[in-house]
Amino acid sequence: MPSFPIIFHPLYDIQYSGEIRFPIQKYQQLKLLLETEGILRRRNLFVPSPITSSMASRTHDPSYVNRVKNFTLSERQKRKIGLPSIDRFCVRSFVAAGGTLLAAKLALKFGFAVNAAGGSHHAARFEGAGFCIFNDVAIAVNCLLDEGKIKNVIILDLDVHQGDGTANIFETDDRVYTVSIHCQKNFPVRKANSNLDKGLAVGITDKIYLDNLDHTLSEISHVPADLLVYNAGVDIHENDNLGFLKVSSAGIKLREKKVVNFA
């Protein structure tokens, strides 16, 4: 079994007994599955430190960062994010972003690394949205760019929803090439402009999805990048009630192989 760095923090798992559309229990379930299958062991488990406010403010407006830190988000901001027990999620957002930053650093060192949380791609500079408080990918990328660890990066977002927050954050940054393959008739209603967007029709299955992925990877093969950041959303799955696409488990497995081989 190949071993690679996997990042997980106990705060990824928030216990919540009420109804919530966001499946928060998936993080602990994922960790248990990885351990059961022998993929996650003590030697390749990395626990991240939370990012600081100054690190978050390289991407997000400082006043918004302070509201998150001090638990003073407005009611409108809370509604737009849509998470219950928002204060606990605010604490978690600093840790999840730290996990993505650590994964990026370890990927630069070892060639490949995974954060078991993150991908909060709806969060933009001035506010969060769609279960996303901080844009952890954007924070990690900006930190590495500012520190001179990388010069160019590709962000490949294959979540069923468009990465609108990420696209907005990097809209004028030529060092970052944003790509989003998503369901066109899904959240967000108003799409942003990634460097490359592919909005797919409701109900498409494996072949059309994977053909679009192949064409996309071919299109970006010329783009210079020291790092590929991959948002591996599995809500394209045929059993996801909110995803609107019909990709099978085998199709998702093949998707991941194609992305890893491309990287």
Token pair in block for residue 261? 């081989």
Render each residue's pLDDT in the chain as its tens digit; 263 residues: 468 999 999 999 887 766 667 777 889 999 999 999 999 999 999 999 999 999 999 999 999 999 999 999 999 999 999 998 899 999 999 999 999 999 999 999 999 999 999 999 999 999 999 999 999 999 999 999 999 999 999 999 999 999 999 999 999 999 999 999 999 999 999 999 999 999 999 999 999 999 999 999 999 999 999 999 999 999 999 999 889 999 999 999 999 999 999 99
- Coil, strand, or helix at residue 156? strand
The predicted structure's pLDDT at residue 26: 87
Q: Are 260 and 112 within 8 A, CB to CB? A: yes
CA pair distance 185, 80, nearest whole angstrom? 19
Kindly give, in sequence order, each residue whose CB lies less than 8 Å from that of residue 136, ignoring residues fewer than 6 positions away: 93, 96, 97, 99, 100, 101, 115, 117, 118, 119, 120
The predicted structure's pLDDT at residue 193: 97
DSSP letter (8 states) at residue 132: B
Q: Are 239 and 162 within 8 A, CB to CB? A: no
- On the CB side of 60, CA atoms within 13 Å amount to 33
The predicted structure's pLDDT at residue 85: 86
Q: Is 49 left (phi over 0), alpha (psi -120 to 50) or beta?
A: beta
The predicted structure's pLDDT at residue 257: 98
Element (H, E) at 202: none
The predicted structure's pLDDT at residue 191: 96
